[in-house]
Amino acid sequence: MTQISPDRWQLPDGVDELLPDAAWRVETLRRRIVDRCHSWGYELVMPPMIEYLDSLLTGTGETMDLQTFKLVDQQNGRTMGVRADMTPQVARMDAHALRGDHPNRLFYTGSVLRARTDGFGGSRSPLQFGAELFGHSGAHSDIEIIRLMLATLSEAQLAAHTLILDLGHVGVYRALVEALDLDDGTGTALFSSVQRGSLPDVQALLAQVPQATQNNTAQLLGGLMQLRGDTAILSQARSVFANASSAVLTALDSLQAVIDGVRATYPDIEINIDLAELRGYSYHTGVLFAAYTQAGDELARGGRYDAVGAAFGHPRPATGFSGDLKMLADATQHNVVTKKGIFVSAGIVDAAWGEIVRLRESGERVMTELPGIDNAQQASQCDRVLVQTQSGWTLQTLA
């Protein structure tokens, strides 16, 4: 055998394996979330791990392209991608295999791979879970999806009153900027300046744009960049944008409706508003949201993305959320694993088989001994042992 280098078994950066305790915690949480989504009338789908690249990246933008591992299909030379996000796949399923006019409520869970370690807490192999609601464009579908997100998080013992819900809306920035009809370069530079929070850069860029001066855009964007805080921010926003276009006011109305809807069923949740939050701007079209722990760990996020349906050839409004099950399981220390069970010594396994089958089917964990292994009973960590007595098979408690 060749010599084994010391790092030979090291996993790539951002890639992990789950040993029994962690795996069982994730499995338990996964089931709870699946059951919760099912109980809301959402239907489970299982999109493929790989697709042809032109299908996989439709409507997702450059960020997802950079995040996607590429493969060549040896059978025809076409380029495939490993899914880096299941949301666009589910949108494709809604637009094609499940095509219809009525709303589709879909959820999913599965491994995704990321070529880079940004996002998802540095993981390149998240176990994504999420839900998407297609075919409804009003605030009520955003409210339903946010409520479902909070319900799934409560399955991880993370009650809504312990969470922080961040809300934004890409529509305000979009309306202000679209009125300027910028070229792509200026558009990108402006977006970057707003994301960096650099007002001088914003002002310098817009000084070159006559329409911006006329619209007072620099001042409005300056206002936008300061509009972060609790829900009271929204009334400030109404005065800052009092003379802005109707699209801006529609976005603010929509955000207010979502706040009211969430508050109606989760009155205790802490809500933060950030109107300069523009995550997934190329993709999202309306409300954005994310749930955090008090310690600032992101648990799930999502938003409205009405344009993706059109990219798939079947225009459909859409809203949804997703998160990483592994990260979520880490965020909670509940779901304690207890390694209890019933030990059966090798000599009686076949004779006791009927009883062993019955015990296992009743939900017990039964470990049968293999001959020739020392201290097998102790190593099994079982708390009971099956023995034969005059009255039949009996369980005896182990010390």
Q: Is 44 in the site for a second copy (CB under 8 A)?
A: yes
Looking at the Cβ atoms of 207 and 346, the one nearer to a second copy is 346
83, 322 Cβ separation under 8 angstroms: no
Interactions with a second copy, residue window 100-129 (CB under 8 A) = 102-103, 105-106, 110-111, 113, 115-117, 124-125, 127
Helix residue spans in 73-228 (DSSP H):
87-95, 139-155, 170-178, 184-196, 199-206, 210-215, 217-226
Looking at the Cβ atoms of 333 and 375, the one nearer to a second copy is 375
Stretch that binds a second copy, among 30-38, 202-210, 223-231, 232-240 (CB under 8 A): 30-38
**Would you give the binding string for a second copy spanning residues 277-316, x where CB under 8 A is met?**
---------------------------------xxxx---
Interactions with a second copy, residue window 60-89 (CB under 8 A) = 69-71, 73-75, 78, 80, 82, 89
Stretch that binds a second copy, among 31-39, 179-187, 234-242, 289-297 (CB under 8 A): 31-39
- Distance between CA 249 and CA 55 in Å, rounded? 35
CA distances (Å), origin 363, targets 157, 342, 358, 359 = 24, 11, 9, 7
88, 118 Cβ separation under 8 angstroms: no
Residue 176 CB, nearest distance to a second copy (Å)? Answer: 25
Residue 169 CB, nearest distance to a second copy (Å)? Answer: 19
The SS3 of residue 290 is strand
**Would you give the binding string for a second copy spanning residues 232-271, x where CB under 8 A is met?**
-----------------------------x--xx------
State the pairing for strand pair 79-82/70-72: antiparallel
Return the sign of the alpha-carbon dihedral for residues 323, 329, 333, 336: positive
Q: Which of 77, 185, 200, 363 binds a second copy (CB under 8 A)?
A: 363
The SS3 of residue 344 is strand
Interactions with a second copy, residue window 138-157 (CB under 8 A) = 138, 140-141, 144
In the sheet where 79-82 sits, what is the strand order? 50-52, 79-82, 70-72
